Amino acid sequence: QKEVEQDPGPLSVPEGAIVSLNCTYSNSAFQYFMWYRQYSRKGPELLMYTYSSGNKEDGRFTAQVDKSSKYISLFIRDSQPSDSATYLCAMSATGNQFYFGTGTSLTVIP
Amino acid sequence: KAGVTQTPRYLIKTRGQQVTLSCSPISGHRSVSWYQQTPGQGLQFLFEYFSETQRNKGNFPGRFSGRQFSNSRSEMNVSTLELGDSALYLCASSWKTGGNEKLFFGSGTQLSVL
């Protein structure tokens, strides 16, 4: 079993929709959680970072962590065509070595 | 502030050769991590360096090695290249090692092994 599981998609939504991206994990020691956005032929760009259960909001993005269920989510409100990218979740127990999901490919259709 | 810089951007090598990739972290960052990204496996941790010392190592063969210099710049070396080493190699930097530090990635080096 992989440390982190993420639905690869692809996910296709109309502009303005709310997008929900999810990851599950098996290691209860994970305490640092990040979401990255990666455009084609680019490195991952940090979107959200949290190290506690609950919600964290930044503009149109909300990161949610449920440690009891070992489940994290990223919500994108009012999705835009520029949000079309691959979204990666990442998590770590120590903050040294991060385990990544394989990424969810998102397309926002104008 | 300049981001993480990786060179070269693209590399084409043949099986059996060796390759060296370079990474310059964000100014002031002292921790450098390397990841391999492939379509099937996603991002996999190779190793992390902090203050010129390897702090953590992922589950890769000894053909993969790295080092960090006193100015925090890092290099990664892969010897005796195999077809399966074709991947995007990403470098990430952070201010310190461990704890609640954010990782910032470069654009990567795309390595193709023929």
Kindly report, residue by residue over B49-73, the tens digit of the pLDDT.
999 999 999 999 999 999 999 999 9
- The one-letter code for the residue type at B55 is R
Chain A residues with CB-CB distance to B56 below 8 A: 96-97
Chain A residue with CA closest to B41: the answer is A102
In tens, the pLDDT along B19-51 reads 999 999 999 999 999 999 998 888 999 999 999
Partners of residue A88 in chain B, C-beta under 8 Å: 42-43
Answer for the pair A35, A48: CB distance below 8 angstroms, yes or no. yes
For chain A, residues with pLDDT lower than 50 are none
pLDDT of residue B101: 80
B99 touches chain A (CB under 8 A): yes
Q: How much is the pLDDT for A60?
A: 97
> Kind of pairing, strands A104-109 and A11-14?
parallel
Q: How far apart are CA B65 and CA A64, in angstroms?
A: 36
pLDDT at B1: 66
Distance from CA of B78 to the nearest CA of A (A): 20
